[in-house]
Structure 1
């Protein structure tokens, strides 16, 4: 363990605490309700068929365990470095370094999945306009938003997420009404066993889809990072964790269940977003265009959240002496602009992939992002076990405690390791370990190279109160 957790919190000072509990909740929803649900679910359905419902239940269970572990640690320690800082304190500086960089890489690449999806969605209306144009325009707009202070980000994300939440609720009500009121027998649970059965690709197909479900739930953990800029971290985090898990679980399971009652799997796989496909089948005039607007807002919202989180994680790395000092500097408005510029790299990578292979760009970016995602979730569970052991040894009481320890975290860690190994057998995710293992090795080598140079945090941490003209190079 590092000397004290106060040391970590002290070096990350300077960011503004302006986020409310409702904004924290919406930030988590904003990140998790994006292309993973609106477009990634199509890939999952292709793997599992109707049994994808079970896949998302398993993924939701893992997400629930993760949120419980994070809730305990975040209420005890709220800082921008979040689970990376917890790993540093309870597992050691190497673990903290690896977790932060793995998560940072995951979110930077996830930004690329969102923006490539936006390019695809715009083809629904303007198939003649090159998608790369939309990628550039929307990216520039969201980078601009993140260059302002966190209050501007929180406000935009709140309204982005509000649109998504109400749209999903409206979709659930409409789809449920169609199923219940159907007099011709075209919609209903019987569609779960039509065209190949409930498990068209066996239990293995259902398990493969769990990997994709993790990508869909990815970003719920960002609530712990955002807590570092919350007005009242302890109170806000408790409220936000409770509502976020419930909403996500209900949204995902209900929407997928209704989609599969209405749209045949074969029809879903031929279309774009399953939500748009359902509206095309229903035939309500203009409904497919309305849903397309929603899925674009969802992708932009998730991208907005991911730019925010990746920027804060790089800020934390810099303040800890594990990245160049320039990325730990703040503008006068509290925005780490240099870190933001670096974190836009995911957009640049996605743009290149999109130009080279527009048909597979989304899947490739998702596969690359998943290594860091699964490694991060697994390490969070391991960190939680170390956290509880340390507090028990110290005799420190927990202000917020959840049941099922240590079983919940052990199960979570084992499941994440199993899913990571599973990617070896998935054609669409063959890049996950091909990219992830060498990347991890490079990170490890760099850590020990810099450690030999005795690069201490004190030598690289800028004063958060440095005048504005000295904050940005």
Structure 2
């Protein structure tokens, strides 16, 4: 049932107990570097192999959708900063069952991602130190980030500040070198011209669809900045700044780097998939030690994602419990940190790592399929929530609309149509169809549990 006023939302209860230790420089760098996820470095090679040079179009189209989603989320988060982010907005707009389903499905996604990123980081380190067990490295990374997240939120902010600075510096240097090489002014290299762009759609429309689906999921994790904003010194300013620069960041780092890669390197080069597109491009330029340098950057990206996902999952869990949507013990806060929520999220993440060794053929793939389309489900909750809340805020507290969705409600409906299109495309592809159905099953289950809890609480008054 919607609240009669927007002045005192229940989500503000979680902000009262959490600290506000994130400085504006932390939030600015999280917004800048958070867009450079591990998916960009690790997963983009398969997209290039499928779509060829048209991967630039795929990233541009999915980037436009992400910009609309971020604008909608920014509007709601600036009006009502909350560590629950879209889950809190969905509860206010649609009902407690929606907040429950959106929040806990995202929590499962983040915790599982913590384990996957730990495994990816461990593989890089064991490549440098052969013979050392992967699980031990994952455990070490878990302990380090568990410690930083348990201590104080400013520790998370400091780690992310420097991680983000390194990622931004590395990809900026890559873009500069790539543009110089394309222009033919980089010493020792000749401009490739448009030779690598002649087969723009090598596998036709189906290849473009595969590249589009790969690019959509590379953008996952942008929501963290709106979660972190609730613990910053000036949440409204932080969210507004992050959202307003989203277009520039997506265009430069994602679309720009894909354009540089496919111009420099033939799309069908084996190195694009085997070594990764960024290493392949740097090797093409003849830069010594390029592979090792990029492996360091990828390792940093994976560790950064681990750190951010431990933080995000703990805050989502804490916000849900504060709103009566989970086990009460997770709500305990000490030193401004929900320490039991942090610990629980890490334990779940490490359990996913163990499952990858214990049950690699059944339970672990099932878990991966279950989280495969969660980010799309979250985006739909964001769009529907913004449609419902915008009119309410305009009517009851228009001064809260510091950030406004462009061309409302037209572009919100356009975004929803784009999400529906992606669902249809996923249903057409055998690999993604399983993910779509598995995620749909989990979402329906959580929605049913949330609705049951909502009815039970309503009967109790």
Structure 1 length as normaliser, TM-score? 0.88
Task: Write the distance in 1 (CA, Å) between the matches of 2:140 and 2:79.
Answer: 41
8 A contact 1:74–1:237 mirrored in 2: yes
Matched residue, 2:338: 336
Q: How do 1:364-375 and structure 2 match up within 5 A?
A: 368-375=370-377
Matched residue, 2:192: 187
Measure how far apart 1:365 and its partner are: 7.2
8 A contact 1:30–1:305 mirrored in 2: no
Could you list the runs of 5+ residues in structure 2 that have no partner in the other structure? none
Q: How do 1:407-422 and structure 2 match up within 5 A?
A: 407-422=410-425
Matched residue, 1:26: 29
Task: Write the distance in 2 (CA, Å) between the matches of 1:170 and 1:42.
Answer: 20
Q: Determine whether 1:382 maps to 2:384.
A: yes
Measure how far apart 1:395 and its partner are: 6.8
Task: Write the distance in 2 (CA, Å) between the matches of 1:217 and 1:456.
Answer: 41
Q: How do 1:134-145 and structure 2 match up within 5 A?
A: 134-145=137-148
Larger displacement relative to structure 2 (141-150 or 237-246): 237-246
8 A contact 1:135–1:351 mirrored in 2: no
Matched residue, 2:254: 252
8 A contact 2:11–2:319 mirrored in 1: no
Measure how far apart 1:298 and its partner are: 0.9
SS for the counterpart of 1:218 is coil
Structure 2 length as normaliser, TM-score? 0.90
Could you list the runs of 5+ residues in structure 1 that have no partner in the other structure? 459-473
1:23–1:321 Cα change, 3 Å: same
1:430–1:355 Cα change, 3 Å: farther
Matched residue, 1:291: 294
Aligned-residue Cα RMSD (Å) equals 2.6
Larger displacement relative to structure 2 (47-56 or 266-275): 266-275
Matched residue, 1:471: none
Task: Write the distance in 2 (CA, Å) between the matches of 1:287 and 1:115.
Answer: 23
Q: 2:315 aligns with which of 307, 312, 319?
A: 312
Deviations 1:82-111 (A, max 9, x none): 221111112222222222122222222222
Give 4+ residue runs of structure 1 displaced > 6 Å after superposition.
363-366, 455-458
Q: How do 1:8-407 and structure 2 match up within 5 A?
A: 8-12=10-14, 13-181=16-184, 187-193=192-198, 197-265=199-267, 266-331=269-334, 333-344=335-346, 345-353=348-356, 357=360, 368-394=370-396, 396-397=398-399, 398-407=401-410
Task: Write the distance in 2 (CA, Å) between the matches of 1:52 and 1:2.
Answer: 44
1:454–1:401 Cα change, 3 Å: closer
SS for the counterpart of 1:147 is helix
Task: Write the distance in 1 (CA, Å) between the matches of 2:442 and 2:357.
Answer: 22
Measure how far apart 1:354 and its partner are: 5.5
1:426–1:255 Cα change, 3 Å: same
SS for the counterpart of 1:401 is coil
Deviations 1:5-63 (A, max 9, x none): 52413421210112233322322344431221001111222331221111100111011
8 A contact 2:110–2:309 mirrored in 1: yes
Measure how far apart 1:411 and its partner are: 1.1
Matched residue, 1:2: 3
Larger displacement relative to structure 2 (6-15 or 45-54): 6-15
